[in-house]
Structure 1
Amino acid sequence: MYDWFLGGKDHYPVDAEAAGAVLGIFPGARDTAWANREFMHRAARYVARQGVDQFLDVGTGIPTEPNLHQVVQAVEPRARVVYADNDPIVLRHAEALLRGTPEGRTAYLHADVREPERIVEYAREHLDLSRPVGLSLIALLPFVPDEQDPYGVVRTLLDPLPSGSHLALSHGGAEFDPEVWARIEAVYRSGGATVRARSHAEVTRFFEGLELCEPGVVAATDWHPGPQMRVREVQPVYVGVARKP
Structure 2
Amino acid sequence: MARQHWVPEGTDQDTPNVARVYDCYLGGSHNFAVDREMARKAISMWPDLPLIMRANRAFLRRAVQFLAGEGITRFLDIGSGIPTFGAVHEVAREIRPDTRVVYVDLDPVAVQHSRLILEGDPLCRVVQEDMRDPEALLAHPAVAELLRPGEPVGVLLVAVLHFVKDEEDPGRIVRVLHDAVPSGSALVVSHASREGRPEVVEEHEELYKRTPTPITMRTRDQIVALFDGFEPVEPGVVYMPEWHPDLPDSVGPHPELMCGLAGVGRRL
Kept in 2, the 8 Å contact 1:73–1:100? The answer is no
Q: Secondary structure at the match of 2:124?
A: strand
Kept in 1, the 8 Å contact 2:134–2:173? The answer is yes
Question: What is the Cα deviation at residue 24 of structure 1?
Answer: 0.9
Match runs of 1:1-245 below 5 Å: 1-98=21-118, 105-122=123-140, 123-227=143-247, 232=252, 233-234=254-255, 235-245=258-268
> What's the Cα RMSD here?
1.8
CA distance in 2, matches of 1:241, 1:193: 25
Question: What is the Cα deviation at residue 168 of structure 1?
Answer: 0.5
Kept in 2, the 8 Å contact 1:172–1:236? The answer is yes
Question: What is the Cα deviation at residue 11 of structure 1?
Answer: 1.4
Kept in 2, the 8 Å contact 1:220–1:239? The answer is yes
Structure 1 window deviating more from structure 2 (161-170 vs 104-113): it is 104-113
**1:71-130 deviation digits (Å, cap 9, x = unpaired):** 1111111111001000011111101123686xx600011011112112212211234351
Larger-gyration structure (1/2)? 2
Taking a change above 3 Å as real, the CA distance of residues 205 and 176 of structure 1, as seen in their structure-2 partners, is same
The count of corresponding residues between Structure 1 and Structure 2 is: 243
Q: Secondary structure at the match of 2:180?
A: coil
Question: What is the Cα deviation at residue 192 of structure 1?
Answer: 3.3
CA distance in 2, matches of 1:42, 1:36: 10
Kept in 2, the 8 Å contact 1:169–1:240? The answer is yes
TM-score by length of 1: 0.94
CA distance in 1, matches of 2:113, 2:45: 29
CA distance in 1, matches of 2:34, 2:92: 32
Kept in 1, the 8 Å contact 2:74–2:146? The answer is no
Question: What is the Cα deviation at residue 2 of structure 1?
Answer: 1.0
Give the residue type in structure 1 aligned to 2:94: A
Report the identity percentage.
Answer: 37
Kept in 2, the 8 Å contact 1:69–1:100? The answer is no
Taking a change above 3 Å as real, the CA distance of residues 198 and 129 of structure 1, as seen in their structure-2 partners, is farther
Kept in 1, the 8 Å contact 2:65–2:91? The answer is yes
TM-score by length of 2: 0.86
Kept in 2, the 8 Å contact 1:5–1:30? The answer is yes
Question: What is the Cα deviation at residue 66 of structure 1?
Answer: 1.2
Kept in 2, the 8 Å contact 1:213–1:240? The answer is yes
